[in-house]
Amino acid sequence: MEENIAESRSIRTDASEVIVRTFGYVVISIFALCCLLPFLLILGTSFTTESAIKKFGFNFWPKEFSTFAYKIVFENPDIIVGSYIVTIALTVVGTAIGLFLVAMTGYALQRPDFGYRNGISFFIYFTTLFSGGLVPFYLLVTQYLSLKDNYLAVLLPGLLSPFLIIMMKSFVRSIPHAITESAKIDGAGDFTIFIRLILPMTTPALATIGLFIALGYWNEWYNSMLFLSTNMEYRPLQLFLYNVVTSADFVRNSAAASNVSLRDVPLESMKMATAVVATGPVIMFYPFVQRYFIKGITVGAVKG
Amino acid sequence: MEKVLQTAVQSKTRTARDGRLRRFWNNKTLLLMCLPAIAFFIVFAYLPMPGLYLAFIQYNYADGIFKSPFVAFDNFRFLVINGDLWRLTFNTVVYNLAFILLGNVLQIFVAILLNELRRKWFKKVAQTLLFLPHFISAVLIGLIAYNILSYDYGLLNHLLTSIGMDPVKVYSNPHVWPFIIVITFLWQSTGYGSIVYFAAIMGLDNEIIEASEIDGANAFQRIIYIVIPWLKPTFIILLLFSLGGIMKGNFGLFYNLVGANNTALYSSTDIIETYVFRALMTNFNFSIGSAVSLYQSLFGFVIVITANWLVKKASPENSLF
């Protein structure tokens, strides 16, 4: 049926249709290329010799091919593997706990028979309207919670967000309340209903929200930069990348361990190689889960 | 008589209290389920709020929060007199206006064009590529900009010199940065943001389009008279929502693009978030940082309330509260 409509429409092609469509293909192609090329620029440069970079600048296609930068990055695999493990651990643990809490809170706040739902919803929502700002937050975490140089300072603040709880509420809203009610009549408690009935029914929502949380942890660098100092041996990947990108000394120090004379350290290509190593997994993984992110923005964006 | 009244009042208060207790008891499991979240927001969102008291004292490390001298509004006066507050407000608000307006217009443009395309595989590949920039970290965005703009090795200067022009020193010229920042923002957010509009177009009834075709409307007329008016409510709602956040800056974007210590660019790139960050991490001036934060929160609060009031007028079912 849908095919038929599409066909019957494409039969009546006048000039305006052709113009619009051609324009669309051209503009979207250009835009898509603009989105892709910067990644190729980084990839290309990471495989270029330092001398070629000095001569020709950054390039999409390596003028002189070399894997030297990757060799140095992995020469001392301890640091980069450690960073990977820290990031993966933060992502897995944070996503598991965060997703469970978001789902539980979102479900409870969506129950029409929950007497305090409006009060608690506002309590959570208010934090997006008014905040203490960075300085008190920093003092809280470093002085009162004593979490400086502690991975918990990165893990804890990322667990929940009002945005995700609101998104969960909109997902739960599509499940008829009658299901909860009939389970209650059968004698099930609220928590049992949530675990045994609601969670299995909301798996697409959980996938979406879980991916949002996971992406947040993988790309996390802000709290890491605030609370984890450079004398920590293993830093989350994005902070590691930030240090490599912004500090030549940092690169020289980490390369010094691999018996390369300081003069020969390929500063520029090492930045790019580190970026490829830190970002690669996300880009490889992302096309397979893209549809969940699309679902998330269409559900959560317009109304909480 | 009096006694009767008294017992009536007593039993009334008792039933009220009983009702409250019963309500609490009936909701206990659901309340427990919310408890972790409530604790989380108390610790990470509500506990820092009293810390804004820092804005009214001259904080020094030796005396701590409670013994540092109270200076009332001196920190704010300082910020007004030296012009920082005005410059930060201007930069933050104007950047956000550019992000919101250009962003939404471009998102609509992309959504409409995507909708006109017929080849399914092309649409899929294009969307995947358009969304890609949304999924990378702010650090990588900074590195990409460096790849293009770097004076010695950047792609831009490579292209300029290859066509016989002089290379440009982008990282010391504050005038070009508004364009760079806005373009980077659009590059990162347009594809993903267009989904909302694309979904809205999908909700457009096919019969309306067919009827217009029977009436002889061509592709331009279809877009101008049917699709764009159809998107108008979504546009207005999204616009008003984003206006609520007009005092909030995108720290990651600005910080990674401009760099931590590039003072030459502050005049055109310093926003509230970057200023507060420097006050904390570089100048250790906790009081000034808190004063700016408090100003931002209060001003932002008023704007959200106003925006919500406008949403309520435009479409009551979409208002936040």
Q: What are the pLDDT digits (tens) for A123-133?
A: 999 998 899 99
What Rg do the C-alpha atoms of chain B give, in angstroms?
Answer: 27
- What's the pLDDT at A303? 40
Residue B319 in this model has a pLDDT that exceeds 80: no
A24-33, B15-24, B281-290: least confident range: B15-24
* CA distances, A145 to each of B40, B48, B60, B61 (Å): 13, 12, 20, 18
Both B172 and B287 in a single domain? yes
Candidate from A25, A42, A115 with C-beta closest to B23: A115
Candidate from A5, A24, A120 with C-beta closest to B113: A24
User: Which carries the bigger pLDDT value, residue A257 or residue B35?
Assistant: B35
Measured between beta carbons, the chain A residues lying within 8 angstroms of B131 are 286, 290, 293
Both B52 and B87 in a single domain? no
Both B139 and B99 in a single domain? yes
Measured between beta carbons, the chain A residues lying within 8 angstroms of B33 are 104-105, 107-108, 190-191, 194
Question: From the candidates B22, B147, B251, which should be mutated to test the interface with A, based on the most A CB atoms within 10 A?
Answer: B147
Proportion of chain B above pLDDT 90, given as a percent = 52
B51 located within any domain? yes
SS3 B57: strand
Hey, is the C-beta of B273 within 8 angstroms of any chain A C-beta? Answer: yes
A9-13, B60-64, B271-275: least confident range: A9-13
CA distance B81 to chain A (A): 22
Structural domain span for residue B11: 2-67
Question: From the candidates A35, A117, A152, A163, which should be mutated to test the interface with B, based on the most B CB atoms within 10 A?
Answer: A35
Q: Are B189 and B103 in contact (CB under 8 A)?
A: yes
Both B113 and B20 in a single domain? no
Residue B203 in this model has a pLDDT that exceeds 90: no
Residue B171 in this model has a pLDDT that exceeds 80: yes
Report the run of H or E that residue B11 belongs to, with start and end. helix B2-26
The phi, psi pair for A48, rounded to 5°, reads: -105, 145
Count, in order, helices (H) and strands (E) of chain B.
Answer: 16, 0
Both B113 and B214 in a single domain? yes
Q: Say how many C-beta atoms besides its own lie within 10 A of residue A264's C-beta.
A: 10
Candidate from B33, B37, B286 with C-beta closest to A160: B37
* CA distances, A138 to each of A144, B26, B56, B294 (Å): 10, 39, 18, 15
Residue B7 in this model has a pLDDT that exceeds 70: no
CA distance A69 to chain B (A): 16
Task: Name residue, tokens 């949380």.
Answer: A213
User: Which carries the bigger pLDDT value, residue A75 or residue B57?
Assistant: B57
Q: Are B5 and A166 in contact (CB under 8 A)?
A: no
Task: Name residue, tokens 């079912």.
Answer: B317
Q: Do B152 and A57 count as a contact with CB atoms less than 8 A apart?
A: yes
SS3 B70: strand
Q: Do B128 and A279 count as a contact with CB atoms less than 8 A apart?
A: no
Last residue of a domain, one of B67, B90, B119: B67
User: Which carries the bigger pLDDT value, residue B170 or residue A102?
Assistant: A102
B77 located within any domain? no
A80-89, A287-296, B25-34, B295-304: least confident range: A287-296
- What's the pLDDT at A1? 40
Both B148 and B197 in a single domain? yes
H-assigned helices in chain A: 2-11, 15-46, 50-56, 68-75, 77-110, 117-129, 134-139, 152-155, 162-173, 177-185, 190-192, 199-201, 203-218, 222-227, 237-246, 248-256, 267-300
Residue B74 in this model has a pLDDT that exceeds 50: yes
Burial class (CB in 10 A: 0-12, 13-18, 19+), B54: buried
B208 located within any domain? yes
User: Which carries the bigger pLDDT value, residue A13 or residue A272?
Assistant: A272
Measured between beta carbons, the chain B residues lying within 8 angstroms of A188 are none
Average pLDDT over residues A49-73: 84
Both B111 and B198 in a single domain? yes
The token duo for A271 is 């930045």
Both B261 and B290 in a single domain? yes
- What's the pLDDT at B259? 83
Ranked by mean pLDDT, the top range of A13-17, A86-90, B155-159 is A86-90
Average pLDDT over residues A174-182: 90
Both B8 and B133 in a single domain? no
- What's the pLDDT at A259? 64
Q: What are the pLDDT digits (tens) for A1-28?
A: 444 444 445 445 688 889 999 999 999 9
Domain A70-304 belongs to what architecture? Orthogonal Bundle (1.10)
- What's the pLDDT at A11? 47
Both B94 and B238 in a single domain? yes
Complex ipTM > 0.95: no
- Separation CA A156–CA B45 (nearest Å): 12
Hey, is the C-beta of B306 within 8 angstroms of any chain A C-beta? Answer: no
Domain ranges of chain A: 70-304
Q: Do B293 and A20 count as a contact with CB atoms less than 8 A apart?
A: no
Measured between beta carbons, the chain B residues lying within 8 angstroms of A28 are 110, 113-114, 117, 122, 126, 130
- What's the pLDDT at A248? 75
Hey, is the C-beta of B18 within 8 angstroms of any chain A C-beta? Answer: no
Burial class (CB in 10 A: 0-12, 13-18, 19+), A249: exposed
Nearest CA in chain A to B157: A57
SS3 A65: strand
A255-259, A277-281, B145-149: least confident range: A255-259
- Separation CA A148–CA A226 (nearest Å): 9
- What's the pLDDT at A3? 44
A46-55, A245-254, B248-257, B291-300: least confident range: A245-254
Both B102 and B221 in a single domain? yes
Q: What is the mean pLDDT of chain A?
A: 86
Burial class (CB in 10 A: 0-12, 13-18, 19+), B194: buried
B183 located within any domain? yes
Average pLDDT over residues B115-139: 91
Measured between beta carbons, the chain B residues lying within 8 angstroms of A136 are 48-52, 54, 290, 293
Torsion, Cα of B170, B172, B177, B180 (10° steps): 30
* CA distances, B237 to each of A81, A108, B96 (Å): 46, 27, 16
Both B178 and B226 in a single domain? yes
CB pairs under 8 A between A and B: 291
Q: What are the pLDDT digits (tens) for A193-223?
A: 999 999 999 998 899 999 999 999 999 999 9
The total number of structural domains that make up chain B: 2
CA distance A220 to chain B (A): 7
Nearest CA in chain A to B158: A57
Average pLDDT over residues A265-292: 87
CA distance A101 to chain B (A): 7
